[in-house]
Structure 1
Amino acid sequence: MLIVFEGIDGSGKTTLSNRVAQELRHAGLRVRHVREGGLLASPVSEGLRRFTRDPAHLALTPTAELLLYAAREAQLLEEVTRPALAESDVVITDRFFYTAEVLARWGRGMPEHVVRPVLDACARGLTPDRVFLMDVDPALARARRRISKILTPKPGAPSRKGLAGSGLQVRLRSGYRALAAEAPERWTLLENAGVTLETLVRQVVQDILQAREGISPSARTLRAAPSPVRSLEEARGRLLRQLDVWREDEPSLAAYFLSGMEGEDMTERREALAERCPELVAYSLVGFTDEASWHLRRQLADKAPGQVLGSLRDAAADAPESWELRDRLIERVPVQVAESLNGLDSEQAWKMRERIYFSASESVIASLEGLNGTQAWSQRLRWLSDAGGEDALALERVARTGCRSIRGLESERAWTWRERAWAAAPDAVLRSLAGLVSPRAWELREQHVARASRAVLSTLEGLDHPRAWALRESFGAQCEEVLDSIVGMEGAPAWGLRTALADTWPSSTVRSLGPLLQTPRGRALAERLLASHPQDFALLRQATRGAPDTFQRALDATA
């Protein structure tokens, strides 16, 4: 019996499939999981997976990507899955050819008549007995992935697939749901929100055991959509209720979603979660300078030093309290102290960089982002000489550090670094173009925007330039990050994009308002979207960010 788990990245399918395998073994079945522990059982397939994830392969075309994904699954099928089916009662696989189909058709826009024959030829008639689709709001999936990275940082480059932006996951979710609707007798849709892992495990194990006895799966009833939200104040109340539910059921999610949220009600929840989720509560304090936030930082500094230092950004970066925390933690976590100096050009910052250079040189150099003075270049050249000279920029790790350091710099020396770093880290080179408006910066963006939209659009933040608007508008409704590049921007082009993309990307539309949320026009747009998309938690959260005193007064008046 072949059991497949599918879903977007961060949906929880790997965790669930591993737990289900354990429970089926406890039930006395011979079970083979071909991706147990997160690694594909075929070294060849695992190598192909790493290849397709590598952002250095930026030029990979949709057709080549499809063939590589198909090759990965075909190798796993012939090397591991088919033999296991002959020896085991149940074979479990985390992803099947459906992943390649959804990515090609819904992710990259390839036609069905091109994709299906390729995958059918690779499957050679094998069809899963049951497919469990872990269905989750992409915003929650993204949050869970981010939580994992905060709690267990993993060095290395970002995934190549992630360069396409958050909109890719939304399209992939639609694709999976479409495939499930085509074959409801084989697919079971599982909602991974508001349901405990133990409940999902029991449900799936029961379905598999019943399927072995020839019993059809029971019908699933999706939860009704919540009622419309009529105002920003009502949205904040609903948000707080959801956070309180997660505080009991999934505290890490509650702590993570407190990030950027101001007000006494949010501070109370941070304090309540600080003991259970110190790293995530510290992470949620980014940029805050109120006394309660400084108190929490001092309280959490020993338990979550990296996240406390990571929160010293924006208005908090150069505050006296920040320097006290850096002095307190410098011997323990010099790398994170260096990272917290990002963009600072004060004498105090330069002294601290020199103090920790030999223990955290790469982070010191990365912290020079946006600094173009003689002292900054002297530090860069010192580091590059230690690394082996300019030829070392052909090494991925050196290339990524160097590109981070020259982000936003237009000098000839910076462009030389970009040219040398391109082969090793093209996505990092693209991100280094932040704010640049020279012809060669535009040419590089326009040449690669189709394959690295997230990286390119991140460099347009706040740019009011004709070529910036042309790039934004070229995406239509396909890319959420278009909206991230116009946060707080006024004018007809910005409002035109918000109007055009509002119902496709409601939460990002509201986020793009920034301080404009407190204007009559911004508030009206947010409240219209809340009424139309009451089930969108990310929208609920974005609509309640900012002006916490206004919200509190309104809530007090209705209490």
Structure 2
Amino acid sequence: MLIVFEGIDGSGKTTLSNRVARELRRAGLRVRHVREDGKLASPVSEGLRLFTKNPRNLALTPMAELLLYAARETQLLEEVTRPALAEYEIVIADRFLYTAEVLARWGRGLPEHEVRPVLDACARGLQPDRVFLIDVDPAIARARRRISKLLAPPQGTSSRKGLAGVGMQARLRAGYRSLAAESPERWSLIENADVPLDTLVTLLVQEVQRLVKGEAPDAAPVRARPVSPIRSLAEARVRFLSRLDGWMKEEPQLAAWFLAGLEGPDIEQRRKLLAGQCPALIAHGLTGLTDASAWDLRRQLEEAAPVQVLGSLKDLAAEDPEAWALRERWETRKQEAIADSLEGLDAERAWTLRERIYFSAAEQVVGSLAGLGGERAWEERGRWLSDMGGEAALGLERVARIACRSIRGVDDERAWEWRERAWEAAPDAVLRSLDRLDSERAWELRERHVARAPRAVLGTMEGLDVPRAWALRESFGVQCEEVLDSFVGMEGATAWKLRLALADTWPAATVKNLGPLAFTPRGRSLIERLLESHPHDFALLRQAVRATQDPTTQELRDASA
């Protein structure tokens, strides 16, 4: 019997499939999981997975990607899955050929008549006995992935698929749900949101045991409860905090993550309650905050999570006297984190500190020069590159990525020479280095590669108010949430037209996009309309709370009383 777990990245399918496999073994069944603990049992398939994941392969076309995904799953089927089906009672797979289909059709836009024949040939008639679609709001899935990366930083680079942005996750989710609706006799939809993990594992184990016995599957999918409309900003805050309180019991790391950047007595109370359980996440969530409570919490957490505390010294917090005192306390122990906290700082105090810690954290020191184009910055870059072996080293991926971070937002001739040399090794990093640049060379590079890496390209356009920027933003239609992140707080007819066109597709990002406009009558009206239309959207609740956290707003003071 073949049992498949499908779902978007961060849905929890890997965790659930592994837990279910263990519980079934405890129940006396012979079980083989072909992706135990997240690693494919076939080395060939694992190698193909790493190849398709590597952003260095930015030029990979949709059809080539489909064939590689199909090859990965076919190798696993032939090498591991089919032999296991002859030996074990139950074979569990974390992903199947459905992943390749959803990515190709809904993710990249390939037509069904081109995709299905390829995958049917790979399957050779094999179909799962049951597919569990682990479904979750992409915002929650994204948070879980980021939590995992923060607590256990991965080796290597980010995923090539991630360059497509948040819109990709939304399209993939829609694709999985469409396949499930087409074959309800084979698929079970399991919502992994407000149901405790142990409860889900028990339900899934019972479902598999019914299948083993030849009994009919449970006809009722696991779904979250319906949500009533939200009528006011005060109600949105109450709803947000209620959801958060549920996670504080069942999934405290998720609760800690979603407190990031928020203010208010009710928020501070929950931060303090979670600080002992999740020190790194609470510290990370203080990024940019400068109120007295935030500094108190940094001092409380610095021994338990020094890297995250130092990492929170961004924006307004970066040059606060408390920030310099914190750096001094950790200078001999956490030089790399201290260097990272100096990003973009051009004060003499920052340069003196860079010089003191250079030999302990050269890469981070050079990375902290982002946005600095003066001669002093180039002398530091030149020293580092010489230590790395000279300009030829820019062809090495690690060196190329550090170099591109260092020249982010720098538009002089030397920066472009570095980009040219680094392109082959780290094209995505080169694109990200174009941050807020408005030169002809920057626009040519963006326009040439925006189809392959929209997230990376749009991430460099923040605040750019020129016709070329608006044309590129409008070219996406409603496909890309990151369009909204590129013109936060901007006024004007074009900005409002685009904001309103994207609002119901990306309600949370639209509220974030308002920035200070959230306090205008037009902004407030838009937030209230979106809350009423999308009460199920937790990310929208959070952005509404964050966008309107103004101590002079009586309505919000009342909500937190």
TM-score of the aligned structures, taking structure 1 as reference length: 0.99
Instruction: Give the letter for the 1:22 counterpart.
Output: R
Deviations 1:196-216 (A, max 9, x none): 111111111111111111111
- Look up the match of 1:276: 277
- Look up the match of 2:440: 439
1:225-374 alignment, distance < 5 Å: 225-374=226-375
Note the C-alpha offset of 1:548: 3.5
Matches of 1:479 and 1:547, distance apart in 2: 27
CA 1:468–1:558: 2 relative to 1, 3 Å: closer
Contact 2:54 2:160 in 1 (8 A): yes
Contact 1:394 1:420 in 2 (8 A): yes
Instruction: Give the letter for the 1:556 counterpart.
Output: D
Matches of 1:310 and 1:416, distance apart in 2: 30
1:498-509 alignment, distance < 5 Å: 498-509=499-510
CA 1:204–1:554: 2 relative to 1, 3 Å: closer
Note the C-alpha offset of 1:249: 1.4
Instruction: Provide the secondary structure at the position in 1 that maps to 2:551.
Output: helix
Deviation larger for 540-549 or 423-432: 540-549
- Look up the match of 1:18: 18
Instruction: Provide the secondary structure at the position in 2 that maps to 1:190.
Output: strand
1:153-552 alignment, distance < 5 Å: 153-221=153-221, 222-545=223-546, 546-551=548-553
Matches of 1:352 and 1:436, distance apart in 2: 28
Given the alignment of the two structures, is residue 3 of structure 1 paired with residue 33 of structure 2, yes or no?
Answer: no
Matches of 2:496 and 2:521, distance apart in 1: 14
Count of equivalent residues: 559
Instruction: Give the letter for the 1:155 counterpart.
Output: Q
Deviations 1:173-207 (A, max 9, x none): 00000101111111111111111111111111111
Matches of 1:216 and 1:315, distance apart in 2: 59
Contact 2:462 2:485 in 1 (8 A): yes
- Look up the match of 2:127: 127
Deviations 1:5-31 (A, max 9, x none): 000000010111111111111111111
Instruction: Provide the secondary structure at the position in 2 that maps to 1:463.
Output: coil
- Look up the match of 2:69: 69
Contact 2:511 2:540 in 1 (8 A): yes
Deviations 1:384-437 (A, max 9, x none): 000010010000000000000001111000000000000000000000001111
Instruction: Give the letter for the 2:42 counterpart.
Output: S
CA 1:335–1:258: 2 relative to 1, 3 Å: same
Contact 1:236 1:551 in 2 (8 A): no
Note the C-alpha offset of 1:272: 1.2
Note the C-alpha offset of 1:238: 1.0
Matches of 1:279 and 1:444, distance apart in 2: 37
Matches of 1:558 and 1:25, distance apart in 2: 48
1:107-118 alignment, distance < 5 Å: 107-118=107-118
Contact 2:194 2:224 in 1 (8 A): no
Instruction: Give the letter for the 2:227 counterpart.
Output: P
Contact 2:549 2:556 in 1 (8 A): no
Contact 1:518 1:547 in 2 (8 A): no
Contact 1:480 1:505 in 2 (8 A): yes
Contact 1:284 1:311 in 2 (8 A): yes
Deviations 1:44-96 (A, max 9, x none): 00000000000000000000000000000000000110011111111111000
Instruction: Give the letter for the 1:101 counterpart.
Output: E
Contact 1:310 1:339 in 2 (8 A): yes
Deviation larger for 240-249 or 367-376: 240-249
Contact 1:252 1:280 in 2 (8 A): yes
Contact 1:74 1:122 in 2 (8 A): yes
Matches of 1:155 and 1:90, distance apart in 2: 33
1:137-152 alignment, distance < 5 Å: 137-152=137-152
Instruction: Give the letter for the 1:481 counterpart.
Output: E
Instruction: Give the letter for the 2:298 counterpart.
Output: R
Contact 1:235 1:543 in 2 (8 A): yes
Deviations 1:112-132 (A, max 9, x none): 111000000000000000101
Matches of 2:553 and 2:455, distance apart in 1: 33
CA 1:382–1:235: 2 relative to 1, 3 Å: same
Instruction: Give the letter for the 1:454 counterpart.
Output: R
Deviations 1:364-383 (A, max 9, x none): 00000001111110000000
Matches of 1:157 and 1:255, distance apart in 2: 25
Instruction: Provide the secondary structure at the position in 2 that maps to 1:85.
Output: helix
Instruction: Give the letter for the 2:162 counterpart.
Output: G
Instruction: Give the letter for the 1:438 counterpart.
Output: S
Instruction: Give the letter for the 1:188 counterpart.
Output: S
Contact 2:165 2:454 in 1 (8 A): yes
Deviation larger for 291-300 or 211-220: 211-220
Matches of 2:512 and 2:374, distance apart in 1: 34
Deviations 1:419-457 (A, max 9, x none): 000000000000000111111111100000001000000
Note the C-alpha offset of 1:220: 2.1
Matches of 1:96 and 1:243, distance apart in 2: 34
Matches of 2:119 and 2:466, distance apart in 1: 44
Note the C-alpha offset of 1:550: 4.1
Note the C-alpha offset of 1:155: 3.4
Deviation larger for 545-554 or 256-265: 545-554
Matches of 1:296 and 1:551, distance apart in 2: 25
Matches of 2:556 and 2:427, distance apart in 1: 49
Matches of 1:305 and 1:552, distance apart in 2: 37
Instruction: Provide the secondary structure at the position in 1 that maps to 2:127.
Output: coil
- Look up the match of 1:556: 558
Deviations 1:447-500 (A, max 9, x none): 000010000000100100111011100000111100010111111111111111
Instruction: Give the letter for the 2:114 counterpart.
Output: V
Matches of 1:311 and 1:163, distance apart in 2: 25
CA 1:174–1:310: 2 relative to 1, 3 Å: same
Structure 2 alignment gaps of length 5 or more: none
Given the alignment of the two structures, is residue 49 of structure 1 paired with residue 49 of structure 2, yes or no?
Answer: yes
Matches of 2:393 and 2:226, distance apart in 1: 55
Matches of 1:167 and 1:432, distance apart in 2: 22
Note the C-alpha offset of 1:262: 1.2
Matches of 1:277 and 1:557, distance apart in 2: 26
Structure 1 alignment gaps of length 5 or more: none
Instruction: Provide the secondary structure at the position in 2 that maps to 1:549.
Output: coil
TM-score of the aligned structures, taking structure 2 as reference length: 0.98
CA 1:435–1:89: 2 relative to 1, 3 Å: same
Instruction: Give the letter for the 1:326 counterpart.
Output: R
Instruction: Provide the secondary structure at the position in 1 that maps to 2:72.
Output: helix
Matches of 2:263 and 2:383, distance apart in 1: 42
Deviation larger for 220-229 or 329-338: 220-229
Note the C-alpha offset of 1:248: 1.3
Deviation larger for 478-487 or 261-270: 261-270
Note the C-alpha offset of 1:557: 8.0
Instruction: Give the letter for the 2:373 counterpart.
Output: N
